[in-house]
A and B are shown apart, each in its own frame.
Chain A
Amino acid sequence: MSTENSANVSRRQFITGAATAVAGLTVAPGVFLLKPAAAASGADPATRWGLLIDTNKCADGCTACVRACHEENGVRSMGRPKTDAQWIRKVNLTERETGHQHSLPVMCQHCEDPPCVDVCPTKASFIRPDGVVLVNKHTCIGCRYCMMACPYKARSFIHEPLTDQKPHAPRGKGTVESCTLCVHRIDRGERTTACVEACNKDGHQAMVFGDLNDPESEIARRLREEGSTAIRADLRLNPAVRYQGI
């Protein structure tokens, strides 16, 4: 009987040990994948990318920025304006009291405190360390709550199956998207977005892209010297897109 007992115990020990080993082997790869947070490649938290738009230089009727953005990111009209995606649009303003008119481009404002990030149930809407607000379409479930929450109506939902996407700008049915501040260009090292590039090429020079946190950059210098406003500044979202002349 005692030999039987000792055999039982050792069998139990063996199984426990084996189970622990297998569990350890299963868990270990995940543990090793934890890299230290200080890996400095990729989005730099010391940077904050932003845009400055001088609406006085923005020409009425010009849509160079809109066309360039949609060309760059493969955003095509499906012939259904109400459900077509728009990453950037020109808004025409007429002041009610005086009749004064001007226009300006509006896109995702890349807020520092984005309501869309707050409300997203799966963390698909997120803000990158360098301030760019994006939608992680791998996690987006298409609930459209962020579209309800955005104070700038910046986001679009994709209402149909898509083909022929641009390789650097994946977009698909059932997910939400908005202006990415051309992160594919930022990550390649280019320091301009498609809209800014087009505006400069057309000669209007109304838009500037740069690092808001770099005091030497053109955008930071101009913000400091000339001042700027934000749309719906009372919401205290501290957007990275600033305007002059509104």
Chain B
Amino acid sequence: MTAKIHFREIEGRSAGYLALLAGLLVLVGLGLLAAVLKGSYGHHITGMNNQVVWGLPHIFAIFLIVAASGALNAASFASVFGRVAYKPLARLSGLLAMTLLIGGLVILVLDLGRPDRLVVAMTHYNFKSIFAWNIFLYTGFLAVVAVYLWFMMERRMTRYVPVAGYGAFLWRLILTTGTGSIFGFLVAREAYDAAILAPMFIAMSFSLGMAVFILVVMAVFSGTGRPLGDLILRRMKNLLGIFVAGVLYFVLAYHLTNLYATRLHGIEAFVLLNGGIYTFLFWFVQIGLGSILPIVLLFHPVWSRARHVIAAAAGLVIVGGLAQLYVIVIGGQAYPLDLFPGYDTSSTFFDGVVASYTPSLPELMLGVGGAAFAFLLLAVVMKFLRILPTSLADQMVDPHVSGTASTAQSAPAGA
């Protein structure tokens, strides 16, 4: 029998914790400042323009939303796939999923040209638009995971946890399909209009969600001094490696298919060969730093035992994910629309030329502010609710591990 899992609020009185809250508050404040400035002066203070309409804030927002869906992994492994080892982490998984999604939504809403019309957006729906569906999917996800979390924390409702877990798992799959379909449904642009984008986003959600989750678990357990055993960490890092490989598979399938179509050679050459910053981000950051290096690090028999290596690999996956979104969202817009195949075009409206886009400070402030808000919520809620297990030492995770052996192994504050 596994030892009983105890959950306890974090103390939240140390200087480190207060400094963290203060730092996150500052970042959130900067994000709000950026939103207010944008509301007064208009979007011209950002780098977004009529050619590249979605920029850095959207990269952050989509990252947070995709990672939110993936952060629910641990809870799903416990409730849906019956992996008992993940049960202690299920509550943190659910809470992180909610806060990441809220952070992403905040960025999206504040970046709107008319954020004051949010009520209009919530009362006028065009059900042919995947955007309208996403509004339901995102808010519904918050509700479903809130119920799931409540069931996990309420003794009377624990027998309904598997049902809620299945519901949340299905919901996140549909939600991430919806997010990928935002681009997959667009016939206008050559980089989009592909059915594979939806499953690719699902694969990204597994990979990015796992990476964020690993880093959050390591940071929180190290910060609160609670023991984090190697067993659970090893399981998570192996999964992360598999998920990164999964994303790589979808990227490969996408590009190989595109390369087969002559009409798409332009966009493929742009991304893979001569797109400047986009080519650099694709090969060096997304593929190199974000996919191949993490897989090597995570599956290396010796290196992968060290915690700082695992953390570094997770960090690299996140950087690679951001680069991937940059190439998809911004690269896809920067490449000119082909209105007249076979012709070179030019105009005063930037037809026929690769659109230039430089991320601006207000955009970075808004994006980082949203992410900071997500982590601020997490930090505050963990202080008031029993989200975090008291110990993830190996004997808590796996009943077959004996006490003495694991106490020698499990190192509390981040080794």
Complex CA distance for A145 and B41, rounded to whole angstroms: 21
Residues in B whose Cβ lies below 8 Å from that of A190: none
> Are the C-beta atoms of A83 and B129 separated by less than 8 Å?
no
Instruction: Supply 14 A–B pairs (Cβ within 8 Å), ascending by A.
Output: A81-B350, A83-B49, A85-B50, A91-B340, A106-B339, A118-B129, A122-B120, A141-B118, A143-B131, A151-B187, A160-B43, A161-B41, A161-B42, A174-B112
Is B124 in contact with A159, judged by CB distance below 8 angstroms? no
Smallest beta-carbon distance B121→chain A, Å? 5
Identify which of A94, A95, A148 gathers the most chain B CB atoms within 10 Å of its CB.
A148
Chain A interface helix/strand/loop/mixed? loop
Decide if A68 is an interface residue (CB 8 Å cutoff).
no
**Distance to closest chain A CB from B119 (angstroms):** 10
Tell me, rounded to whole Å, the shortest Cβ–Cβ distance linking A6 to chain B: 44
A140 → chain B closest CB, angstroms = 7
Q: In the bound complex, do residue B333 and residue A82 qualify as a contact, i.e. CB atoms below 8 Å apart?
A: no
Q: Which residues of B does A touch, CB under 8 Å?
A: 40-44, 49-51, 53-54, 112-115, 117-118, 120-121, 124-126, 128-132, 135, 182, 185-189, 333, 337, 339-340, 342-352, 356
Contact A175 B113 (CB under 8 A): yes
- Residues of B with C-beta under 8 A to A85: 50
Contact partners of B130 in chain A: CB under 8 A: 119
Q: How near does chain B come to A70, taking the closest CB pair, in angstroms?
A: 11
Task: Establish whether residues B345 and A92, one from each chain, have CB atoms under 8 Å apart when the complex forms.
Answer: yes
How far does the Cβ of A62 sit from chain B's closest Cβ, in whole Å? 13
8 additional A-B pairs beyond A94-B345, A246-B340, beta carbons within 8 Å, are A91-B340, A91-B346, A91-B351, A106-B351, A121-B121, A141-B112, A141-B120, A159-B49
Contact partners of B113 in chain A: CB under 8 A: 140-144, 157-158, 173-176
**Given the complex, which residues of A lie within 8 Å of B50, measured CB to CB?**
82-86, 147, 155-157
Q: Inside 8 A of B352's CB, which chain A residues have their CB? A: 91
Q: Which residue of B42, B51, B121, B189 contacts A122 across the interface (Cβ within 8 Å)?
A: B121
Cα–Cα distance between A145 and B179 once the two chains are bound (Å)? 13
Contact B348 A81 (CB under 8 A): yes
Whether A159 and B129, one on each chain, are in contact in the complex, defined by CB atoms closer than 8 angstroms, is no
Given A122-B124, A143-B131: A149 and B53 within 8 A (CB)? no
Query: Which single residue of chain B is at the shortest CB-CB distance from A153?
Result: B337
Return A73 CB to nearest CB of chain B, in Å.
Answer: 16
Contacting residue for B42 out of A118, A120, A160, A232, CB 8 A: A160
How distant is the Cα of A93 from the Cα of B186 in the complex, in angstroms? 25
Q: A89 touches which one: B126, B333, B344, B349 (CB < 8 A)?
A: B349
A150 within 8 Å of B by Cβ?
yes
Question: A66 — nearest CB in chain B belongs to which residue?
Answer: B348
Q: Please tell me if A20 contacts chain B, counting CB pairs below 8 Å.
A: no
* B-side contacts of A84, CB under 8 Å: 50
With both chains docked as a complex, state the minimum distance between the C-beta of A68 and any C-beta of chain B, in angstroms. Answer: 15
Q: Is A14 an interface residue (CB 8 A)?
A: no
Q: Are A119 and B49 in contact (CB under 8 A)?
A: no
Residue picked from A93, A150, A155, most chain B C-beta under 10 Å: A93
A151 to B: closest C-beta gap in Å: 4
Q: State how many angstroms separate the Cβ of A176 from the closest Cβ of chain B.
A: 7
Q: In the assembled complex, which residues on chain B have CB atoms less than 8 Å from the CB atom of A106? A: 339, 347, 351
Total inter-chain residue pairs, C-beta < 8 Å: 170
A101-144 to B contact mask, C-beta < 8 Å, 1/0:
00000100000000101111111100000000000000111111
User: Are the CB atoms of A91 and B43 closer together than 8 Å?
Assistant: no
Asked whether A141 lies within 8 Å of B117 as measured between CB atoms, the reply is yes
CB of A80 closer than 8 Å to a CB of B? yes
Known: A153-B349, A158-B42, A160-B41. A97 touches B187 (CB 8 A): no
Contact with B along A226-246 (1 / 0, CB 8 A): 000001100100000000001
A121-B121, A143-B112 known; A148-B54 Cβ under 8 A: yes
| Complex CA–CA separation, A231 to B337 (angstroms) | 12
Q: Would A173 and B42 be within 8 Å (CB), given that A91-B351, A231-B340 are in contact?
A: yes
Q: Which residue of B lies closest to A88 (CB)?
A: B349
Interface core residue of B50, B120, B126, B132 (most chain A CB under 10 Å) = B50
Closest to A119 in B: B129
- Report yes or no: A145 in contact with B351, Cβ–Cβ below 8 A: no
Q: Which of B117, B125, B337, B350 contacts A151 (CB 8 A)?
A: B337
Beta-carbon nearest neighbor of A78 in chain B: B44
Shortest Cβ gap from B219 to chain A (Å): 34
Contact B339 A231 (CB under 8 A): yes
Which of A66, A123, A148 touches B333 (beta carbons < 8 Å)?
Answer: A148
Distance to closest chain A CB from B348 (angstroms): 5
Determine whether the beta carbon of A122 is less than 8 Å from that of B118: no
Tell me whether A150 and B348 are in contact (CB under 8 A): no
Question: What CA separation (Å) do A117 and B41 show in the bound complex?
Answer: 28
Q: Which of A83, A90, A120, A153 makes the CB contact (< 8 A) with B126?
A: A120
Residues in chain A near residue B350, CB distance under 8 A: 81-82
Complex CA gap A168/B40 in Å reads 25
A82-B356, A174-B114, A246-B340 as given contacts; A121 in contact with B188, CB under 8 Å? no
Chain A residue with Cβ nearest B182:
A145
Q: Identify which of A85, A157, A246 gathers the most chain B CB atoms within 10 Å of its CB.
A: A157
Residues of A within 8 A of B44 (CB): 78, 80, 83, 159-160
Would you give the shortest CB distance from B341 to chain A, in whole angstroms?
9
Contact indicator B121/A151 (Cβ below 8 Å): no
Find A147's partner among B42, B53, B114, B346 (CB 8 Å cutoff).
Answer: B53
- For A119, what are the chain B residues with a Cβ–Cβ distance below 8 Å? 128-131, 185-186
